[in-house]
Chain A
């Protein structure tokens, strides 16, 4: 079964500190992985996807197939990064485009 695990429910860092939000997945094939973010009072939105290997708002995420991980990293956290972050997996099977989400990590960046 496909599963996404985000071991940290809450993560608190100070402004300017590095931040890493952990994500591990279980899937036997080659999944598509995403990070979605939900800022306060806003809807869920895509932050980045592994296939495009991009950096968005200073965040990067590398897919490590050996460790089945897709951790989200930023070298210098900003207060505006405070939000709920969800790791998601799209198992490319049968044409379905469904997403399997982790439980989310609430990031708080303190001044």
Chain B
């Protein structure tokens, strides 16, 4: 299984600022995903990031608010821009298990707990 790390693990930020979250994988993967989990809610996919192409955003999420970089096959960043208290969430990075017969299992990072004051 892939081992995923995220930085920072948590942060408290002021309204109007931006935070960049890093996701590092111990193996090369094609697809990386960014999810948001708001308090008491389920995980919601923000975008899919493939190396060498623009990220694909889900309905309700835009690049200006959540710019994503994917410079290589083991790393991605998600920036939460111009933050407001409504952005307080856990942000999760995941990768797809690309092995044959894996049935599209995803491995998740530990998450970044963001609090916006």
Listed in ascending order, the chain A residues whose CB lies under 8 Å from chain B are 4, 32, 34, 43-46, 49, 51-52, 86, 90, 96-104
Contact = CB atoms under 8 A, between A and B. Distances in A.
Given A96-B56, A101-B43, 9 more contacts: A32-B103, A34-B105, A49-B103, A49-B105, A52-B103, A96-B48, A97-B106, A100-B45, A101-B44
Contacts, number: 46
A91 to B, nearest CB: 11
Size range of the chain B interface in the assembly: 20 to 34
Of B56, B106, B108, B110, chain A has the most CB atoms within 10 Å of the CB of: B106
A98 B103 contact: no
Contacts of A4: 42
Contact of A44 (B44, B92, B103): B92
Contacts of B73: none
Contacts of A102: 42
B106 A51 contact: no
B48 A86 contact: no
Interface of B: 31, 33, 41-45, 48, 56, 58, 92, 96, 103-111
Closest 7 CB pairs of A and B: A44-B108, A103-B42, A101-B43, A101-B42, A43-B110, A97-B104, A46-B105
B7 to A, nearest CB: 15
